Every structure is written in structure tokens, then in C-alpha cells.
Amino acid sequence: MKRVYVNEKWCLGCHLCEYYCAFAATGKDDMARALKGVKLRPRIHIEGDEKGSDLKNVTFAVSCRHCTEPLCVKGCITGALTKTDGVISVDKDKCVGCYTCVLSCPYGCIQGTDEGAVDKCELCVSTREGTPRCVAGCPNAAIVFEER
Amino acid sequence: MAVNYVYPDYEVVRNYDKCINCRACERQCANEAHTYVEEIDKVTSDDAKCVNCHRCVSLCPTRALKIVKTDHTFKTNASWSATNINEVYKQAETGGVLLSSMGNPNPFPIYWDKMLLNASQVTNPSIDPLREPMETRVFLGAKSQEIRRDKNGRLIDDTSPHLTLSMPVMFSAMSYGSISYNAHESLARASKELGIFYNTGEGGLHEDFYIYGGNTVVQVASGRFGVHKGYLDAAAAVEIKMGQGAKPGIGGHLPGVKIGEDVSRTRMIPVGADAISPAPHHDIYSIEDLRQLVFSLKEATAYSKPVIVKIAAVHNVAAIASGVARSGADIIAIDGFRGGTGAAPTRIRDNVGIPIELALASVDARLRSEGIRDRVSVVAAGSIRNSADVVKAIALGADAVYIATAAVLALGCHLCRTCNLGNCNWGIATQRPELVKRLNPDVGYKRLVNLMTAWKHEIEEMMGGMGINSIESLKGNRLMLRGVGLNEKELEVLGIKHAGE
């Protein structure tokens, strides 16, 4: 199945993917209005340029790998996390916010939210565009959505 | 400095209603023009650092940024323009020669824009290129003087080596060192896909790109950087660079900071050493000397590759081209005064040389009048901006054109004209690895292919309109051109009639 991959050779660490991701999640059509003054909760994160990182000139975007054997789904105590057609999604009504998945994800791609339920990349399947916004917004084609 | 004589030419305007503090502008500006200030939770900009390259503008996800020309002004003075005044200030401060990049930006006449193309009406049919075949292929090199047959009547094919182009456009010389590895890869891959050629410039050929040799013109310039047997063997043609339109009569200087490991190996000079190309070739002081180098290169490549001689368009260009044609060169490339450069002294760039349109017309006329036009192909260069310029150049007598500024524009260049600073935010004219990676060749080569494909369609449309189905029939066909707003002398040099005649 098609997944989101990042090629760190071309990742510029501009962080725009995070903003396009957060924007896609809002469902609004104006980015400035959607994100102005809002605390960002992107499901994709640039790593490598944190303070104290010893990586030199290497940054890369990390988002849910939609693992073949997903530990998060296995560990979910309420059945809120499921894998359908290769996409792991969270049912926010079922999630009780126990964060077992947050602890078990080896990539750190699931995050808690202020509302209690967890949040993760769902490949934009339910957004307006229906296709990953981080990929479309990457200025250097470092993030790709493809079969491998 | 206590006194800032020069006020920035351009100002960064940020719409704070739209800015979402994503800081992409701050991260992407190699000149550090943008800064996020935590206390006020806002991004601010320093106009003095901005070079107007539009990197931040192009990446801003909410279109919160724009760059405007400052309305700060001196008292209006036709003679002492702001440019003249500021240049004096800069030199008074530094004591140095002013440097500039890219082509001459001054308002000299652009003859392309004063020539109009013909089209068929009633008495001669136009051709629809979408329905009928159109030939845009051209062959560059010396043409046979006569048709000869053996005793069985078969044609004797002893044509000298040629370059075959799918369309009459090539990517002009830009050296590895002046532009980045990724820019070169984009040009090389695009040339291969398009069936045209790119030119290494004088900086040698990176070993990774030998695989594109069939679409590569290698250059031998006065510095002789990176020239060795493998380099000549790898190429489809060899170009001797005698001059460059942006800076006729002077050499080049690639600063040591741009000579990293890879550039050093490719140029065959030490890491960190300035790469200085002398103004003349020290072994060429006459056409006879040039002939020696032409034939040395032919000998070295077993007479299997055409040799191009590139000259800048200067006052006596027609006579010089005639000499070059007699030197044994297969192709003459003429570079007009608007041609680009990675760095040139401002005074040279802006005041030396002549327009390519006039140079091309006079060279073609001179070679024809001397009966040696078939001995060489002529390639015109120096600010060919679009497909109409290509068509007009062909009609004026060029066999093909070289483009470079248009090519780097396709790669993202915004003509900020600060290549000489080495901080190209678009990853083109820089060797800083974190900037070079901004040009992904997968994206870059595709954009070049798109540009050339679009031009090819347009060239076919214009040819079809004129009722011409082969680019060869357009070559030197000056009846297809008419001048507007040109004086008698200009029309005479261009060899065209005025509109309405």
C-alpha cells in the first residue's frame, strides 16, 4: 500500500509539513485563519534540528508508519485503534486516553491531546483533499506518498 | 557602521494578520533577513540583509510576505540616479571594484521586442502542428560543400561530426563551482531526456555525470580547469571559450570558498584555492593560434567530435567570426552583452559588448557573403528569453540558441543577481551543502523538461503559422521578420524590412 516516506537527503527542515498537517486537520479553507494564534498539533514532526541534536544538516519528517504489525493497535485496551485498508486510525469516542499506544509506538508518532483522546496521522483519508497534505506541501519533494 | 549611506533598495513587507509564525522564512533565508522575536511573538525582517530572491515569499504558506521596491528616494536627478549615487557610496566605503551577477539589467534596446514574425494568409496555407508533422531537429557542425558519389553512384558520406538536437536550443555553459552539483545534475538529466545538450562550463565534468556524456558539451577555457583525456572523451562536443557576453575581454574568478573537495577534484586545483581564469588564452594571440588549439582538440578526440568556439559579441564580431570559421571550428557560439554570469565587474557587464541580435545578423551576413556559411553552424546566446526569441534568432540566421538564464529560472532562480555572494537560497549558485540540497534534481530536471517541451510546442505553432514545417526552412529566412520602431541603420544591420514594407 502507499505510505508516506521521507527522504532525509532532500528534507530541508523547514517545518512546513507540520503546518500543512495541522491545517489539513482543521478542515478550514484559509490557513491563516485556521492556524493564527492556535497551538499547533501536527501529526508529523521534523526531527534532527532540536537544540542539542548532534545531527549535522540532517533533518527528517516522522509520521505514523502504518506498521504491518502495529504495536499500538495490539496494545490498545479499548479497541479504539484499528487498521482498515492499511491505515491505522483512532476512534476518538472509544479512546479513553490511557496512552498505552503513546508508550508502545517505537516512532513516537502518537500523541496525547487536551481533549483526552490520542491523535495520529491517518494519511489525510478523511480530510478535504483526501491525500496527504504534508506531501503536497513539501517544497523539495522530500516527503513522498508511494508504494514501496 | 555609524553612518549608513545606502538605504536598502527593497523592503520586506509582512502582513501580520496572515503570518502564523511558522518561521519557514527565518529557516530558509541564508542571508538571515528574518528573525523570530520571542518577547513580541512575531517574526521581524531586516531589509538591509534581503537580496530579493523571493525564497521566503515562495515558501510562505499563508502568502504573508512580499518584497517591494522602496519608495525612499533621493531628490530626482536624471543624471545622478539612486543607482549612480549608491555605487559611489559603496566604492567610497570599500575601495573595491563593484561586482554584479547575471546579465546586463540596463535599459538598452532589446531588438527581439522590435521584430515581428510573419504568418500565412489566403495565398499560402498555414500548417496545424497538431495534425501535421513538424521538424524541429537541427544538426550542428560543418556541412558538406558538395555532393560526391563513388563509381557506383552511391553517396560518399564523409560529413564531419555533428551534434543532433531534437530542438534548436541547448543549455549554455555554467561551470560546476559557479553552480551546484544538483543544478548540473538537473541540466544533464534534462538534456538526456530532451535529446539536446548542456555545457559544463570551464569547471570540468564531475565524474558522476560522465554517464550523460552523450548530451554534454565540455568546455576548454583559458584556465583549462578539469581538462584531461577522459573529460574530452566523455563529451559529445568540445567548446573553446574565448569570451563571454557578460564580461568580454576579461577572465573569471571563482573564490576559494567555493572550491570544496568535489569542485577541487573536478577542476584539478587545490581545495580552497581561488580559481582564476586569465582574460586571454595565453597560447592564443591570433586565428592561427586558435586553429592550433582547434586541431589539437580534434586530434585528441580522433576527429570524432565537433569543436565549438565561443566568442563574446563585440564590435568587430563579424570579422572575428569569419576568422573563427576559417580556424577549423565546426560551430561558432556568439554570446551577446545581456548574457548572464555568476560574477562580473559591474562596469564591464553593463558597458561592454553589443546586442546579440545585431551581432548574429552581421555574422550570418558576413559568413554568407564570404561563401563560408556552410562551413560552420552558428549558435546565438545572451538573453534568449522565450520561444519567440528562439524563432527570431533562427530567422536571423542562427542554427540554434544557447539558454542559461532561462534554464536557471526554471530551476527556481529569481534573478536577485547576488550569485557572487555564494548564498543562493535556491540551491543553484552556491556550494554550501545545506543550500545545495534545496534543489532536488528530481524536481529540477522535470521543470527543465517542462520548459523545453512548452517552447517546442510554441516554436511549432509559430512555424506552422508561417507555413513552415521544418526549422531548416526558417534558418536565415529574414523575410519572416519585420522591424517596428527601428531606424534605417538598425534595419540594415539586421537585414530586415520595416513593418508595412
CA-based nearest residue in chain B for residue A137 = B61
CA-based nearest residue in chain B for residue A29 = B62
User: Across the interface, do B27 and A14 touch by the CB < 8 Å criterion?
Assistant: yes
Q: Where are the beta strands (DSSP E) in A18-142?
A: 45-47, 60-62, 81-84, 87-90
Q: Where are the domains of chain B?
A: 10-96, 138-498
Q: What topology does CATH give the domain A68-120?
A: Alpha-Beta Plaits (3.30.70)
pLDDT tens digit at each of 501 positions of chain B:
589 899 999 999 999 999 999 999 999 999 999 999 999 999 999 999 999 999 999 999 999 999 999 999 999 999 999 999 999 999 999 999 999 999 999 999 999 999 999 999 999 899 999 999 999 999 999 998 888 999 999 998 888 999 999 999 999 999 999 999 999 999 999 999 999 999 999 999 999 999 999 999 999 999 999 999 999 999 999 999 999 999 999 998 888 889 999 999 999 999 999 999 999 999 999 999 999 999 999 999 999 999 999 999 999 999 999 999 999 999 999 999 999 999 999 999 999 999 999 999 999 999 999 999 999 999 999 989 999 999 999 999 999 999 999 999 999 999 999 999 999 999 999 999 999 999 999 999 999 999 999 999 999 999 999 999 999 999 999 999 999 999 999 999 999 999 999
User: Across the interface, do B443 and A140 touch by the CB < 8 Å criterion?
Assistant: yes
Residue B440, SS3?
coil
Q: What residue type is B369 in one-letter code? A: S
Please provide residue B223's backbone torsions phi and psi, each rounded to the nearest 5 degrees: -85, -15
Q: Where are the domains of chain A?
A: 1-63+128-148, 68-120
CA–CA dist B308, B241 (Å, integer): 8
CB atoms within 10 A of CB A50: 10
User: Across the interface, do A10 and B437 touch by the CB < 8 Å criterion?
Assistant: yes
Q: What topology does CATH give the domain B138-498?
A: TIM Barrel (3.20.20)
Mean pLDDT over each residue of chain A, to the nearest integer:
92
Q: Are B395 and B25 in contact (CB under 8 A)?
A: no
Pairing of strands B344-345, B99-100: antiparallel
CA–CA dist A10, A58 (Å, integer): 9
Q: Is A117 left (phi over 0), alpha (psi -120 to 50) or beta?
A: beta
Chain A contact for B443, CB < 8 A?
yes
Fold: same for A1-63+128-148 and A68-120: yes
What number of helices (H) and strands (E) belong to chain B?
Answer: 16, 21
Chain A contact for B42, CB < 8 A?
no
Q: Which of B364, B420, B427, B359 is nearest to B111 (CA)?
A: B359
Q: Please determine, looking at this structure, whether the domain spanning B10-96 carries the CATH number 3.40.50.2300.
A: no
Chain A contact for B440, CB < 8 A?
yes
Show the cell assigned to B3.
553612518
CA–CA dist B251, B248 (Å, integer): 8
User: Across the interface, do A31 and B433 touch by the CB < 8 Å criterion?
Assistant: no
Report chain A residues whose CB lies below 8 A from the CB of B437: 9-10, 12, 57, 140
Q: Sign of torsion, CA B441 B444 B447 B449?
A: negative
Cα atoms in the 13 Å half-sphere on the side-chain side of A27: 3
Chain A contact for B61, CB < 8 A?
yes
Using a 10 angstrom Cβ sphere, with 0-12 exposed, 13-18 middle and 19 or more buried, the burial of residue B487 is exposed
Report chain A residues whose CB lies below 8 A from the CB of B30: none
**What pLDDT, on a 0 to 100 scale, did the predictor assign at position B1?**
59
Domain made up of A1-63+128-148: CATH architecture = 2-Layer Sandwich (3.30)
Chain A contact for B278, CB < 8 A?
no
CA–CA dist A91, A80 (Å, integer): 5
**What pLDDT, on a 0 to 100 scale, did the predictor assign at position B319?**
97
Q: Are A96 and A118 in contact (CB under 8 A)?
A: no
**What value does the CA radius of gyration of chain B take, rounded to a whole number of Å?**
24
- What value of ipTM does the predicted structure carry? 0.92
